[in-house]
Amino acid sequence: MSEESKPIGGEFLTTPFKVLAGFTLFAGLLVLIRYVMGIGAVSNLSDGYPWGIWITYDVVAGTAIACGGYSMAILVYVLNKGEYHPLIRPALLASVFGYTLAAISIFIDIGRYWQGYNMFWPKYSNVNSVMLEVAVCIALYVMVLWIEFAPVLFEGMQKYKGNLPAFLTKWDVSGLQKIWSKFLFFFIALGILLPTMHQSSLGSLMLIAGKKLSPLWQTGFLPLLFLISAITMGYAIVIFESLFSSVGLKRPAETPILAKLSGIMPWLIGTYLVIRVLDLIVRGALGKAFAFNVQSLMFWIENALFVYPLVILMSAQNRTKARPLFLSALSILLAGLIYRFNAFLIGFDPGNGWTYFPSFSEILITFGIIAFEVMAYLYIVKKFPVLPKTEHA
């Protein structure tokens, strides 16, 4: 399978890379201030809105956007669609950094980070807590992702020595490669189980917020809706990345395989929307959608962004064209993103006049995290065999 992928090469210290590095450094400074002066010094978080964009974007939405590896694994390894194999590595790479950075960002957000390990200590862990399930699953999945991605690194260290700094190429990793090839199937399986668990539980997190979350989002179906939308976002990010890198990194587009992949989407979005709408009707919550306030506006934006790709991608002809494909994928990502923002922030009202809008520093820290992810992605695809060889496309 290794013949499918190849480092794309080229200089990595490009101007965009340097701009991203600047962002990351500045965010790093702000994080330093947070550790010295407290969370309040850099954020607008409050007792009414204890969770802001760090949790909602960096963790909840960020890991959903990083579901490419998970979604592709379902397709390739469970449904046995081997033809999608060339898309696995780039998807996995984005997942590795998306999840790793989400896990790191948790340690910026939690106040008593030096006791973070208490989660894994049976004396303290509370099995009734949805948060415990989410945290343990995400921590394990980050490790599983690195195990899954390791063969790419091994291959790069063996076959593309010229690209890499000397300390990386000194090792002989052929022994490790053999061990990996024996056990990898187990970690691939685990890598499908864990996101199924925590992506649904990320939705369950808000169940206990009860009436503080608007009936437009508060439902027993939160876990199912979060899971389906995360899987859909996983396919969307694969399509988005592939088309984006074909433009950004000047590579031929992989539209035939993406056309086939996008055929799955209308089914997933359709299922999601049927559950979403029926649930609202049965619970009698649909009236809230016509309240003409910020919540109802955001509800319509969220769902319009789900309906648009559903309509576009139902046409087989649209699925073969790069532009509608790209816009549909982007729309799904935004829809899932806004759904998560709505369920965690915009639909959340603690009452008593509390409001929240992220501070400049808070936003910059989140940008820094995204910038670091993009930098890491660019470095790895240039140095390691991740992206499909162009003649395959």
* Angle of CA points 387, 388, 392, to nearest 5°: 160
Note whether 286 binds other proteins by CB under 8 A.
no
Number of residues that bind other proteins (CB under 8 A): 73
Residues 83-112 that bind other proteins (CB under 8 A): 85, 109-112
The set of residues, in sequence order, having a beta carbon less than 8 Å from that of 84 and lying 6+ positions away, is 72, 75, 76, 257, 260, 261
Please select the residue that binds other proteins; options are 25, 29, 208, 274, rule is CB under 8 A.
208
Stretch that binds other proteins, among 142-150, 157-165, 189-197, 286-294 (CB under 8 A): 189-197
Note whether 15 binds other proteins by CB under 8 A.
no
- Please say which residue, 114 or 167, places its beta carbon nearer to other proteins: 114
Note whether 277 binds other proteins by CB under 8 A.
no
Tokens of 40: 């309040």
Please select the residue that binds other proteins; options are 160, 164, 212, 273, rule is CB under 8 A.
212
Note whether 188 binds other proteins by CB under 8 A.
yes
- Please say which residue, 275 or 286, places its beta carbon nearer to other proteins: 275
Please select the residue that binds other proteins; options are 19, 29, 41, 316, rule is CB under 8 A.
41
- Please say which residue, 215 or 324, places its beta carbon nearer to other proteins: 215
Residues 50-79 that bind other proteins (CB under 8 A): 50-51, 76-78
Residues 146-185 that bind other proteins (CB under 8 A): 184-185
Distance, in Å, from the CA atom of 171 to the CA atom of 383, rounded to the nearest integer, reads 17
Query: DSSP state, 293?
Result: S
Are the CB atoms for 234 and 333 separated by under 8 Å? no
Stretch that binds other proteins, among 13-21, 120-128, 157-165, 363-371 (CB under 8 A): 120-128
Note whether 129 binds other proteins by CB under 8 A.
yes
Please select the residue that binds other proteins; options are 131, 147, 322, 374, rule is CB under 8 A.
131
The set of residues, in sequence order, having a beta carbon less than 8 Å from that of 209 and lying 6+ positions away, is 218, 348
The CB-of-390 to other proteins minimum distance in angstroms stands at 22
Q: 220: helix, coil or strand? A: coil
Closest CA to 370 of 76, 66, 35: 66
Query: What are the two backbone dihedrals, phi and then psi, of residue 386, each rounded to the nearest 5 degrees?
Result: -115, -55
Residues 240-259 that bind other proteins (CB under 8 A): none
Residues 311-350 that bind other proteins (CB under 8 A): 348, 350
Note whether 221 binds other proteins by CB under 8 A.
yes
- DSSP state letters, 331-385: HHHHHHHHHHHIIIIISB--STT------HHHHHHHHHHHHHHHHHHHHHHHHSS
Please select the residue that binds other proteins; options are 21, 209, 273, 286, rule is CB under 8 A.
209
Note whether 215 binds other proteins by CB under 8 A.
no
The CB-of-324 to other proteins minimum distance in angstroms stands at 31
Please select the residue that binds other proteins; options are 15, 80, 170, 323, rule is CB under 8 A.
80
- Please, where are the H alpha helices in the chain? 15-37, 53, 62-65, 68-73, 88-109, 130-159, 166-169, 174-204, 222-248, 255-262, 265-282, 294-314, 316-319, 322-341, 360-383
Cβ neighbours of 219 (radius 10 Å): 22
Please select the residue that binds other proteins; options are 21, 176, 207, 286, rule is CB under 8 A.
207
Note whether 82 binds other proteins by CB under 8 A.
yes
